[in-house]
């Protein structure tokens, strides 16, 4: 792996509100190679400092977007192994992420499966632990929303979509965490992916915003339950971030202004989220941090 001290200036990447995104429309869940421009996951910029030396992690939704950026960062921070779960259709993205993990010197474990099925949640954890040998960090990152047309409004809600949102964003967090718990021990860390939508919900993301508010509650609740075991539980609340989910679930005209409403006036890049996950996972840096939701929102308030 070749590292560089020169950080990519993500402010110079195409940003809604300045030039707008014009990525080709995709079907959910979306793939990275079809995006224009490609997201920055820290491939050329993230430099590790052994904050996670020897640890082993499972990241759901780890094939692309925030999950890929976190996987790359964990590997470069010295993690011994990183397992990523993803939908089978996302295999090309997963293989690319695995290549970056291995280039950093860590073992990469690919565990495909649809986490809307509770049995698959258990199978994914079991497979990851079997390949990794143990589990120290769990990142519940997989998520789904749909805003094309009126899909996220009260009038446009459809049972099939709502069920997918609820099962992916809430139920999978519960079932994956339940399956992982027997493999976690004192010093382990659980990190959930929340959203600015849990604090400042958009009218067209009714079901999705509700699930992210639920994740905040789950995070604080689990921190209380698992604290006596020495297991820390936290969350990261991203603002608008340029990931495959955006062109796959939004109308093209929605992308024109994506991120422009933030005080920084742009969408974030996945690479800008990864350090928050590294901090929360680090037993050296966050040993007394639990029950906390860290906002990485481009300036939007998370309180």
Nearest to 41 by CA among 125, 97, 87: 97
Let me know if 46 is a catalytic residue. Answer: no
Catalytic residue among 46, 208, 277, 288: 208
The neighbouring-strand residues paired with 84 are: 59, 110
List active site positions: 208
């Amino acid at each position: 792996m070749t590292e560089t001290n020169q950080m990519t200036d993500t402010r110079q990447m195409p940003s809604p509100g300045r030039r707008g995104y014009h990525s080709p429309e995709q079907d959910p869940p979306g793939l990275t190679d079809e995006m224009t421009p490609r997201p920055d996951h820290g491939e050329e910029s993230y430099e590790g400092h052994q904050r996670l030396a020897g640890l082993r992690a499972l990241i759901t939704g780890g094939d692309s977007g925030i999950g890929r950026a976190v996987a790359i960062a964990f590997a470069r921070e010295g993690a011994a192994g990183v397992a990523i779960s993803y939908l089978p259709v996302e295999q090309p993205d997963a293989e690319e992420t695995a290549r970056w993990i291995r280039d950093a010197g860590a073992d990469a474990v690919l565990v495909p499966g649809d986490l809307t099925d509770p049995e698959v949640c258990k199978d994914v954890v079991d497979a990851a632990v079997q390949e990794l040998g143990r589990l120290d960090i769990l990142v519940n990152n997989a998520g789904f929303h749909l805003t094309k047309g009126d899909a996220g409004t009260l009038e446009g809600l459809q049972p099939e979509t709502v069920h997918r949102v609820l099962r992916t964003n809430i139920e999978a967090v519960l079932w994956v965490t339940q399956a992982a718990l027997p493999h976690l021990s004192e010093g382990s860390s659980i990190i959930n992916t929340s959203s600015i939508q849990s604090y400042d919900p958009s009218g067209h993301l009714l079901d999705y915003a509700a699930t992210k508010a639920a994740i905040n509650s789950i995070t604080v609740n689990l921190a209380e339950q698992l604290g006596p075991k020495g297991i820390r539980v936290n969350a990261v609340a991203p603002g608008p971030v340029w990931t495959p989910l955006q062109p796959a679930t939004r109308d093209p005209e929605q992308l024109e202004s994506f991120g422009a409403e933030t005080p920084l006036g742009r969408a974030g890049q996945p690479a800008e989220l990864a350090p928050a996950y590294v901090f929360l996972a680090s037993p050296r840096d966050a040993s007394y941090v639990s029950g906390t939701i860290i906002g990485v929102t481009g300036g939007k308030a998370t309180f």
